[in-house]
Amino acid sequence: MTFLKRILWVRTGGTIDMIYDEASDSYVPAPKDMIKTIVDRIVPADIYLEIRSDVIEFIDSSEMIPQIWVDLAKFVGENIESYDGILITHGTDTMHYTSAALSFMLRNLNKPVVLTGSMIPILEEGSDGVRNFLDSLTFLTKVSIGGVFLVFDGKIISGVRARKISSSDFGAFVSVNSEYVGYIENGIVNLNSKKVGTSSKQSEGAVYAETNLDNSVALIKLFPGFKPKILEDLAEAGIKGIVLESFGSGGARVTEPLSLIDAIKKLRERGIPVFVTSQCYLKGVVRFGPKPYYVAKRLMEAGAVSLHDMLSEVAVVKLMWVLGRVSAYDEIINMMLTNFAGEIKSET
């Protein structure tokens, strides 16, 4: 028969792919034949779906490491031209980190790559996995826009704007500081016209993967009483860049005792940039100007760099990718402030 679309499905593990094993009293990866049986039953006959279970070792996504992102990116870059899109099933705990990593590593992406998972295994009754799986296929076969997306609970989210907000609800992911790319309901895709074409900023040319990553980075969440020496200790430990989750719109302790100012200045002198994001979970934007609060102004004067509306999770992944490409202080800052995949808006 003539197939409508050719989709490649990459299984990486996670709840959607699990089955309860009484012998070990834990959830383990489901056998491929069991997964294939249910998939053959629900996938439309005019979609050719190739299943790959050998790209990476099945893991709980809490065990994600950057090398796995490298392996995934290389595989997608080498194989996507043979398909209309790629589906990656993934555990929910770090799915948004992976979607961000692929968003930066996959360059010139002119086809959709979708990540999805579930809160209940697809083989169990009442699983949200069936809907998420079918919604992902619907998006992949009916929409021809390039980029990395997370599809979950009927929502289509840019790969650099997703955040997990629940460890149990079906609506576990939301789009932060950006509108949803669209929604899927009963097999119908409704795209946000303002988002289509802007969700992924790519240049022309063949798809390829930029996979050099340097995970000599740190993500630090401030709290009242935070000791600035921790930042200096990170430098001694070989950290090359820091993402600092500030209070509100860019606030931190700038008055002695426990002021961050001297520590940030010392890091700058050593060529180690400090980037500032917001702890505000859903609408956090760092504002270093115009008319900033005095605490934000002091941080800026010390050398801290605002990432405006970039998510902390995305910032730390992007910093790994940037450090894999450049090492000079000014070049690192310039790339971190460059919008590659819709991850940052201008402060003005």
What string of H, E and C letters represents the secondary structure of 88-140? EECCCCCHHHHHHHHHHHEECCCCEEEEECCCCCCCCCCCCHHHHHHHHHHHH
User: Residue for token digits 């910093």?
Assistant: 319
Given the residues 15, 94, 141, 277, select the one marked as catalytic.
15
- Measured in degrees and rounded to the nearest 5, phi and psi for residue 211 equal -110, 5
3-state secondary structure (DSSP) of residue 87: strand
3-state secondary structure (DSSP) of residue 348: coil
User: Residue for token digits 């000079």?
Assistant: 328
Q: Residue 76 belongs to what H/E stretch?
A: helix 66-79
Q: Give the DSSP per-residue string, 159-216.
A: TTSEEE--SS-S--EEE-SS--SEEEETTEEEE-TTTTTTS----SS--EE-------
Residue 15 appears among annotated catalytic residues: yes
Known catalytic residues?
A: 15
